[in-house]
Structure 1
Amino acid sequence: MPDPDASLPAEGLPPDIPSDGSTPVPAARTATVVLATTDAAGLRGQGGTLLDRLTAQLSGLPTGDVHVVTRSGDVIRAPGGAYMIGSEGSGGLADDLRRVAGVARTATGPVAVLAGNLVAHTEALALLLERPGRDTGALVTRGDGTPPVRIDRGLVSAAGTSLHDVEGPNGAFHGAFQVGADDVRTLAATAETLADLAEAGGLGTTDGAEAGELLLSGLLRSGVAVRAVGLGRLRCDRVTTQEEANAALRRLSEVDESEARLDAAIKSDDGFFATFFVSSWSGHVVRVAALLGLRPNAVTGVSVGLAVLAAVWFSAGTRPALVTGAVLVYLSFVLDCVDGQLARYTRLFSPLGAWLDATFDRVKEYVVYLGLALGYQGEGIWPLTVGALILQTLRHTVDFSYVGARADAERAGHAWAGAAGSPAARSDVAVAAEGPRRRGRDPYGPVATPAEPPVPPAPPASQVPQEPPARRGNAVVRLSHRLEQDSLTRWLKKIIVLPIGERMALIAVTAALFDARVTFLALLGWGCVAMLYTLSGRVARSMSR
């Protein structure tokens, strides 16, 4: 059944973390707010308190100002210049939230919010704060845990607090999230709305310990897309006692951060061929390339060179030449994976690198087509060659237009939902609670800002029937979600869309065992099936609610 999300990202688009160029991405540094409003932030860590340790870690990352919110008026000074917001400590949850809003209102780039009682690997924080896309994301892990979240297709779709439950939770939030520059105004509006609620008693007895969870939940209800940033083997734990802090610090020492960083650089949810026939061993190549000081763009260049050599061998047309060309195609694809993995491992990236990676993927593929056609000894090969080239170009065009249309629609939706940047303009944002606080009762419903006419409150969530994730959307979308739950059907969905890994494998195997005619017929047949599958899935998703 078609995957409404097309299963894999468009190949011609820049990867999640693009390849490197010699110049880092120019962007405003992330302003960080550390919510050290509980006694746990003062627990002893390594060479000081947990708060001292955390601010020192942040000073070694590419962040800007580090704003510390505490209940006291003490000014926190760290190597990176961390400081209190204001001359006095925060007076409570509402004050905490207003200080977050103040930072967001004046920020020129992303804003990160971290709990002050985190015991984390520096690499874990870097996964969030050094993301080249600088988008909105949260540190999460899959499985049971608190506070609970629901993760769908790489995004956090719901986040819980003590005020309400999450339907179908499958992960846990680890107390750190970053809001991209495009969503910072929404963060400010969400924080201000929640602060008003706290002052009005709408959040019950909730204290500053849950400020981060409240903000994350409010952002999601405001329509902000929050990427789920997995920790892998890295640790990021929130602690409340000295015993927990000591145990968390011991667990940090049990993990080799360098190895964990390499694991995180290799995509765990790539295509079938890339996952099992490349990523299973390409980490060794990444490590060697890093030791040699190679930049990802250089690896991209070598990958292009191997593809050109493969085309030259294919053009000879003999069986040994076809086999040699097939091996070179495989090695070219390996390096095509390695350049992105190296970029993630070294955190060196640039817009130039993203453009080169996307452009040369097409160049390599089409050069190989040309070599196969030149080496074929029979007749009628050129119509097949042109047909395969047109089909693949059309597929890439559809990918670009679909992803661009979705991005435009999301931007338009956010602008419509809150043109003034206030989450109160949406009907699904955190607002005043009705009745007493209790588990399962959602305190969120519509409320008007002072500039808007009053809006009647919606009934509490406990009185509003909600569909589980597997029952949302039309029949095709629901079936797609069910198929995602099984590993076999999930991999089959990835294979059927014929991503670049499968295409390179198809070219290599058919060229080595048969000839160019068989290769192009296979590309045309499978490519048409893949295009129909993808288009039907996208149409179904567009029509789903």
Structure 2
Amino acid sequence: MPDDAVTHLTDQWRAAGAADVRVAADLSELATLAGQATGPVLLSGPDLVAHATVLRHLATHPAAGTVALVLADPPAPGHAAVREDRGQVVAAGPADTLPGATGGFGGALRVAAADVPALAAAARAAARTPSVTPARPGPAVTADGPGGVTPSGGAGVDRVVAELTAGGTLTFAHRVRLLVARRVVDPTGLAAARAELAGVDEDAAALRLAVKERDDFFTTYFVSTWSPYVTKACARLGLTPTGVTMISVLFAAVAAVLFGVAERWSLVTGGVLLYLGFVLDCVDGQLARYTREFSPWGGWLDTMADRAKEYLVYAGLGFGVAHAGLGDGWALAIAAMVLQTVRHHTDAWYGVLHDEAARRPKAATPGGGLGDRLNAASNRVQADTGSVSYWLKRTVVFPIGERWALIALTAALFDPLVSLVAVLVWGGLAFAYTGALRTLRARFLRVPALGTVDAGLHRDDGPLLRRLGGRLPAQLPLAALAALAAFALLGAALAGWDGARWAAAPALLGLLAAGLAARGRAEGALDWLVPAALRAAEYVFAVAVGVAGDVPPPLVFGYLFGLTLLHYDLVARLEKRQAAPPWRDLTLGWEGRSALLTVALIAGFAWLGMATLTAYLFVVFVWRVIATWVVRPAGAAR
């Protein structure tokens, strides 16, 4: 490549945020420079010609791990092909030796700080590998902010990425859309690539890229068609993604209040505000992608705010049903919140299972089977973007856009009772559909997802179980037993049985039986269902205590709402692979909270016990948020 092309590339890396850009003469020098790096490393070959926005997006990718640039074009001779699964690069190497390749390596990597030692080792290993393409110097970026080192030529970078993936480094794929990225080998290709770059409005493409490539039906056609204009306006006004998130929360809270009024004007207005709040809920993510303002705090807040908004709306609908004299709205609101939370926990854990399977493809059962066929069929549908089957698959699972649209429309056209019943019916059917298919596919995957993370943390085991829990292997049957015990107590309480108050003690023993496996290895094909089963057991048990102890339904809802905040915090940490929250034992664990409620019920002050525990858990949650996002970062900065 001409020297001016290398110089232009180094200037682009500096513009993308690289603190220290260096050109490595060969892979051995790259290994040396990587060994000296104290932060993330941006790495590219000199044959990459791309918009500066492409490099900026790679450098600021929100994934916590290593990220590789992936092109849709087939790789040229000497360049690596890649195979992806669920957004991860699971294999890389020469196209003629890599079956099932899904794209070509784009010649650039952002290596996470934790993976820099692996990068140095991969560069040393690649240096020992014969190359069919002469090495050429190019910018490699090291980072304390980040910074960079670029190794030899394109072929050198390709050998490095192949060694990294072969060594098990978790690498995410960053696909190029709308913008241009090309790997060129001669002046003719360079001129053509530069002409292609000049023909694209970079800012307009960046704004369109802020919209998710694949989203749900309602979001795609009723939100994303005009939300980029709002995103652009927010950027010009200097609003932050967090600020937009808080405005969205305000819209949803006002909508919940209007639903509680349950008058026709308030229901219509509430439906409109709920829709606009959902638009802003999409805009906060689009604004973050457009301005590249990503932060762990923003990602956590977005996850928590989404659930808090939804459950506030359920509360408003439940109050509206009771206020309008349409029935027991709080019972419906509680049922909707429990159903949705348990669904989300199965979604999160199935994602962990599938990600682990992507990193360990050999764990899958060879030879096919029903699960294998379902997996292949699902992949075919997902690949057929825009088809009827594609949209049906994305809609039937009842994603958040469809939930909010259903609530807004049914509330505006009918009443809060119809809204809650519709949410429960569609949500229940979606849960049954996804649960059945995922169970079959999980048996095919045969990956022990719970064995790859802190199972006790994400089961929400308390100090009692962590110290005294057993090691039995049957985690799912015992968790199912806990759920059955909770449902049996709820049935007795709803039937008005006088002994329900005392039946709480044996029901609690049924719950605690799940602790017999608390310290065992979770390697069953379906053990990813355990956390969701325990959530269902604890929530239903709390509802049963409320019914048996004549606790006011709004208080039961408030207690469960506090539990969902604690558990969604754990889900957010699971998805981001973050550490355990501070003062973990202060929440007492599901077994400790259930035991306290049982004592309060038998003693005859269930409402006081639940109110006290609710206030206590909210205080602990707020203090944990402050400690995680204010105190700890301040201490680290000092």
TM-score, L = length of structure 1: 0.70
Using the TM superposition, name which of 474-483 and 493-502 deviates more.
474-483
2:312 is matched with which residue: 353, 367, 371? 367
Corresponding residue of 2:268: 323
Give the counterpart letter for 1:100 in structure 2: L
1:251 aligns with 2:251: no
Corresponding residue of 2:5: 50
Q: How far 1:205 sits from its partner (Å)?
A: 6.8
Q: How far 1:359 sits from its partner (Å)?
A: 1.3
Corresponding residue of 1:271: 216
**1:433-452 Cα distance to aligned partner (Å, 9 max, x none):** xxxxxxxxxxxxxxxxxxxx
Give the counterpart letter for 2:373 in structure 1: A
Give yes or no for contact 1:121–1:252 (8 Å, CA) kept in 2.
yes
**RMSD of the alignment, in Å?**
3.0
2:82 is matched with which residue: 149, 174, 182? 149
1-structure distance, mates of 2:262, 2:105 = 56
Corresponding residue of 1:430: none
Give yes or no for contact 2:46–2:154 (8 Å, CA) kept in 1.
no
User: What secondary structure, in the 3-state scheme, does the structure 2 residue paired with 1:133 have?
Assistant: coil
Q: How far 1:221 sits from its partner (Å)?
A: 2.4
Corresponding residue of 2:481: none
Give yes or no for contact 2:68–2:108 (8 Å, CA) kept in 1.
yes
Give yes or no for contact 1:161–1:214 (8 Å, CA) kept in 2.
no
Give yes or no for contact 2:397–2:431 (8 Å, CA) kept in 1.
yes
Q: How far 1:144 sits from its partner (Å)?
A: 4.1
2:92 is matched with which residue: 156, 159, 173? 159
User: What secondary structure, in the 3-state scheme, does the structure 2 residue paired with 1:150 have?
Assistant: strand
Q: How far 1:386 sits from its partner (Å)?
A: 1.1
Give yes or no for contact 2:270–2:408 (8 Å, CA) kept in 1.
yes
1-structure distance, mates of 2:370, 2:216 = 26
1:353/1:128 CA distance change after superposition, 3 Å: same
Corresponding residue of 2:114: 182
1:283 aligns with 2:183: no
2-structure distance, mates of 1:150, 1:279 = 30
Give yes or no for contact 1:306–1:329 (8 Å, CA) kept in 2.
yes
**1:124-144 Cα distance to aligned partner (Å, 9 max, x none):** 101101123342222223254
Corresponding residue of 1:517: 417
Say how many residue pairs are matched.
419
1:60 aligns with 2:15: yes
1:122 is matched with which residue: 44, 52, 59? 52
Corresponding residue of 1:172: 104
2-structure distance, mates of 1:480, 1:357 = 28
Give yes or no for contact 1:132–1:349 (8 Å, CA) kept in 2.
yes
1:306/1:471 CA distance change after superposition, 3 Å: same
1:388 aligns with 2:286: no
2-structure distance, mates of 1:206, 1:374 = 72
2-structure distance, mates of 1:190, 1:540 = 38
Give yes or no for contact 1:472–1:478 (8 Å, CA) kept in 2.
no
**1:98-119 Cα distance to aligned partner (Å, 9 max, x none):** 3333333333332222011322
Q: How far 1:403 sits from its partner (Å)?
A: 4.8
1:143/1:299 CA distance change after superposition, 3 Å: same
1:52/1:473 CA distance change after superposition, 3 Å: farther
User: What secondary structure, in the 3-state scheme, does the structure 2 residue paired with 1:474 have?
Assistant: helix
1:330/1:188 CA distance change after superposition, 3 Å: same
Q: How far 1:168 sits from its partner (Å)?
A: 3.4
1:64/1:315 CA distance change after superposition, 3 Å: same
1:339/1:116 CA distance change after superposition, 3 Å: same
1:196 aligns with 2:128: yes
Equivalent residues in 2 for 1:211-250 (5 A)? 211-250=156-195
Give the counterpart letter for 1:56 in structure 2: D
1:285/1:400 CA distance change after superposition, 3 Å: same
Give the counterpart letter for 1:532 in structure 2: A
1:180/1:540 CA distance change after superposition, 3 Å: farther
1-structure distance, mates of 2:120, 2:430 = 43
Corresponding residue of 2:205: 260
User: What secondary structure, in the 3-state scheme, does the structure 1 residue paired with 2:185 have?
Assistant: coil
1:535 aligns with 2:435: yes
2-structure distance, mates of 1:335, 1:354 = 15
Give the counterpart letter for 1:337 in structure 2: C
Give yes or no for contact 1:234–1:255 (8 Å, CA) kept in 2.
yes
User: What secondary structure, in the 3-state scheme, does the structure 2 residue paired with 1:328 have?
Assistant: helix
2:376 is matched with which residue: 478, 481, 485? 478
Corresponding residue of 1:37: none
Give yes or no for contact 2:68–2:110 (8 Å, CA) kept in 1.
yes
1:473/1:216 CA distance change after superposition, 3 Å: farther
Q: How far 1:65 sits from its partner (Å)?
A: 2.5
Q: How far 1:303 sits from its partner (Å)?
A: 0.6
Give the counterpart letter for 2:409 in structure 1: V
Q: How far 1:271 sits from its partner (Å)?
A: 2.0
1-structure distance, mates of 2:200, 2:92 = 28
1:508 aligns with 2:408: yes
Give yes or no for contact 1:268–1:275 (8 Å, CA) kept in 2.
no
Using the TM superposition, name which of 260-269 and 178-187 deviates more.
178-187
TM-score, L = length of structure 2: 0.61
Give yes or no for contact 1:300–1:336 (8 Å, CA) kept in 2.
yes
User: What secondary structure, in the 3-state scheme, does the structure 2 residue paired with 1:234 have?
Assistant: coil
2-structure distance, mates of 1:351, 1:150 = 28
User: What secondary structure, in the 3-state scheme, does the structure 2 residue paired with 1:544 have?
Assistant: helix
Give the counterpart letter for 2:23 in structure 1: V
Equivalent residues in 2 for 1:350-499 (5 A)? 350-376=295-321, 377=324, 378-403=326-351, 474-487=372-385, 488=387, 489-499=389-399
**1:329-388 Cα distance to aligned partner (Å, 9 max, x none):** 110000000011101111123222222211111111111112212222212322211100
2-structure distance, mates of 1:472, 1:251 = 46
Sequence identity of aligned pairs in percent?
A: 42
Equivalent residues in 2 for 1:323-342 (5 A)? 323-342=268-287
Give yes or no for contact 1:161–1:210 (8 Å, CA) kept in 2.
no
Ranked by relative contact order (alpha carbons within 8 Å, sequence separation 6 or more), the top structure is 1
1:391/1:209 CA distance change after superposition, 3 Å: closer
2-structure distance, mates of 1:326, 1:484 = 31
1-structure distance, mates of 2:277, 2:397 = 21
Give yes or no for contact 1:41–1:117 (8 Å, CA) kept in 2.
no
Q: How far 1:472 sits from its partner (Å)?
A: 12
Give yes or no for contact 1:191–1:215 (8 Å, CA) kept in 2.
yes
Corresponding residue of 1:135: 65
Give the counterpart letter for 2:427 in structure 1: G
Give yes or no for contact 1:313–1:322 (8 Å, CA) kept in 2.
yes
Give yes or no for contact 1:143–1:170 (8 Å, CA) kept in 2.
no
User: What secondary structure, in the 3-state scheme, does the structure 1 residue paired with 2:19 have?
Assistant: strand
Q: How far 1:275 sits from its partner (Å)?
A: 1.7
**1:138-168 Cα distance to aligned partner (Å, 9 max, x none):** 2223254534433443333443427x33323
Q: How far 1:177 sits from its partner (Å)?
A: 1.7
Q: How far 1:256 sits from its partner (Å)?
A: 1.2
Corresponding residue of 2:240: 295
**1:79-105 Cα distance to aligned partner (Å, 9 max, x none):** xxxxxxxxxxxxxxxxx3333333333
Give yes or no for contact 1:110–1:134 (8 Å, CA) kept in 2.
no
Give yes or no for contact 1:137–1:178 (8 Å, CA) kept in 2.
yes
Q: Kindly indicate which of the two structures has a greater share of residues assigned to helix.
A: 2
1:248/1:475 CA distance change after superposition, 3 Å: closer
Give the counterpart letter for 1:398 in structure 2: T
1:482/1:249 CA distance change after superposition, 3 Å: closer
Corresponding residue of 2:27: 97
